[in-house]
Amino acid sequence: MRKMQDYILKGKRIFIGLEDSKRTWKLCVRSEGMIVHEINMSADYMNLLSYLKNRYPDCEIKVMYEAGFGGFWLHDRLESDNIVCIVTPPHKVTQAKVNKVKTDRIDARRLALNLENNDYRSCHVADREHRENRQVSRTLSQIQKNITSNKNRIRKLLDFHGLNAGLPSGAWKPSHYQSLKSMKLSSTLRVCLDIYLRLLDSLETLKSELKERLESISEQDRYRESVRIKESCPGVGRLSAIRFTLEWGDLSRFPTGKHLASYTGLTSSEYSTGEQVHRGRITGQGSRLADPMCLAGDKTRPGFIK
């Protein structure tokens, strides 16, 4: 039976839906309109490559998986071994509205079917160097969140123990946090507050290092011209310009401004039927990391960097 199956599949077009998790991969293999094999294997690339090469010799293989925690390293490895790999956004995967059951097996089958029917959206996969540079910008956002959280802890500690007399009720300046180092407190509260203040100083130092790194990245040949053009826009500085460039990538892949707006989640939502037209707030379905209002300095947006 195995030899017969190998003979039938040799030289065919193979479509594989791969549902990934940290420890295991579930694969559904389709060819000529039917499922020919399903397998569960450990999440090890060499196991996957051996399976594809040995089981489907001389076949035109396409693999599709959903973008997620694993990033794009699997895509890079498959493409380097001359295997076509598609990464699709999870929220764009076509499925029946009445589907109430979700398992890895069902997900793998759906991915394989969509791939074979050419019914899918693909993610833009930037090259490895660009993704690593972009990580600097995203790490900066994470550090800024930690800074905000730590500042909130400091102020809540003071509020909880009734130590907020004479302190500003609105936004604090860095000098306000520095003045807390000389505030008269009990030895126990002094230890707690000093730990928060030392953590804040450490986070601010890390933030400065990341901003310096982004400055140096903006001077690289591949980004210099794009940064210069964005920086020429009113209100856009060097830091915002390089972050726009890293998050948006090559703007030539967007045919129109509407496509860029959709990518960043700045298009309006709409629920219309018949003669009724209803448009609501922006969809926000794009990554907040690519949101220009966030990157440019809207304090109401998560990830705002001063």
User: Can you give the CATH number for the domain in which 101 is found?
Assistant: 3.30.420.10
User: Is 273 inside a domain boundary?
Assistant: yes
Q: What angle do the packed helices 128-160 and 238-248 form, to 10 degrees?
A: 120
Mean pLDDT taken over the chain: 87
Average confidence (pLDDT) over 98-126 = 89
Quickly list DSSP for 187-230: HHHHHHHHHHHHHHHHHHHHHHHHHHHHHHHHTSHHHHHHHHHH
| 273 and 154 inside one domain | yes
- 63-80 residue pLDDT tens: 999 998 889 999 999 999
User: How many domains, in total, are found in the chain?
Assistant: 2
**Helix and strand tally (H, E) in the chain?**
11, 7
Is the confidence at residue 288, as pLDDT, over 80?
no
Percentage above 90 pLDDT, the chain: 64
Given a contact cutoff of 8 angstroms between Cβ atoms, the answer to whether 200 and 147 are in contact is yes
Average confidence (pLDDT) over 90-98 = 76
pLDDT of residue 224: 94
Answer with the one of 116, 148, 172 that is the final residue of a domain. 116
Given a contact cutoff of 8 angstroms between Cβ atoms, the answer to whether 136 and 213 are in contact is yes
> What's the pTM value of the predicted model, to 2 decimals?
0.81
| 90 and 235 inside one domain | no
**Nearest residue to 137 (alpha-carbon basis) of 227, 235, 234:** 227
User: Is 65 inside a domain boundary?
Assistant: yes
**How far apart, in whole angstroms, are the C-alpha atoms of residue 275 and residue 280?**
16
pLDDT of residue 287: 61
| 29 and 87 inside one domain | yes
Is the confidence at residue 298, as pLDDT, over 60?
no
| 36 and 151 inside one domain | no
- 49-59 residue pLDDT tens: 999 999 998 89
**How far apart, in whole angstroms, are the C-alpha atoms of residue 186 and residue 177?**
18
Number of Cβ within 10 Å of residue 223's Cβ equals: 17
Is the confidence at residue 222, as pLDDT, over 60?
yes
| 146 and 110 inside one domain | no
- 160-170 residue pLDDT tens: 999 988 888 88
Q: Dig out the tokens for 165 from the structure.
A: 């007399």
CA angle 237, 239, 241 (to 5 degrees): 65
| 153 and 19 inside one domain | no
What is the residue range of 140's domain? 128-161+196-296
| 138 and 38 inside one domain | no
Write phi, then psi, for 145 (nearest 5 degrees). Answer: -60, -40
User: Is 29 inside a domain boundary?
Assistant: yes
pLDDT of residue 1: 41
169 compared with 41, residue with greater pLDDT = 41
Looking at residue 303, its amino acid is G
**Band (223; pLDDT cuts 50, 70, 90):** very high
Residue 216's beta-bridge partner residues?
none
**Band (303; pLDDT cuts 50, 70, 90):** very low
| 65 and 143 inside one domain | no
| 154 and 257 inside one domain | yes
Average confidence (pLDDT) over 109-136 = 94
Q: How far is CA 184 from the centre of its chain?
A: 45
| 208 and 105 inside one domain | no
pLDDT of residue 259: 78
User: Is 175 inside a domain boundary?
Assistant: no
User: Is 286 inside a domain boundary?
Assistant: yes
